[in-house]
Amino acid sequence: PVALYAAYSFGKIRNSVEYLSLSSLDILGRLQNLGPEDTAMVIGMPRYPKQTVDLMKILSGKKVRIALITHSEFSPLIKDADAALTLPISYHRFTDGLSPLICLINAFALDLYNENKNEADKCLGFFESLSKVVFTDPK
């Protein structure tokens, strides 16, 4: 869910942002076009879903640069990552693991926006025009 939220947030301010999941029916065609010029942000937290582990192996094999967000430097996913950011998470309640990740994604989105405001504003403009079609008032 956090990766989907990240793709949604980054896609509002950047072109060519995609959410990848091995459970998606069109994943093979999308993976086929990836290579060394692409970067994937992977969010891998315990219990490390098999689909995440397998997707990282595929991306690594295609020489896609992998930026990993994980909970510890002992994460088994680090070996396939080009860069890793560790974000220790404590679970006092079942939702606790999502809050720090969502805050981090929001910070990344703001940084991406500030990196190229002209491109981001164009993307946001398109998003707003599309949202008027998708979310019209039924009156």
Task: Find tokens 């290579």 and name the residue.
Answer: 35
pLDDT tens digit sequence for 61-81: 999 999 999 999 999 999 999
Higher local confidence (pLDDT), 30 or 109: 109
Q: Is residue 138 part of a domain?
A: no
**pTM of the full structure:** 0.85
Structure tokens at 55: 């997707």
Q: 47 in a domain, yes or no?
A: yes
Mean pLDDT in residue range 99-118: 95
User: Per-residue pLDDT tens for 20-59?
Assistant: 988 888 888 889 999 999 999 999 988 889 999 999 999 9
Q: What is the DSSP string of 54-120?
A: HHHHHHHHTT-EEEEEES-TT-TTGGG-SEEEE-----SSTTTTHHHHHHHHHHHHHHHHHH-HHHH
In-domain check, residue 139: no
Domain that holds residue 54: 2-132
Q: Give the total number of structural domains in the chain.
A: 1
- The enclosing domain of 74 has a CATH number of 3.40.50.10490
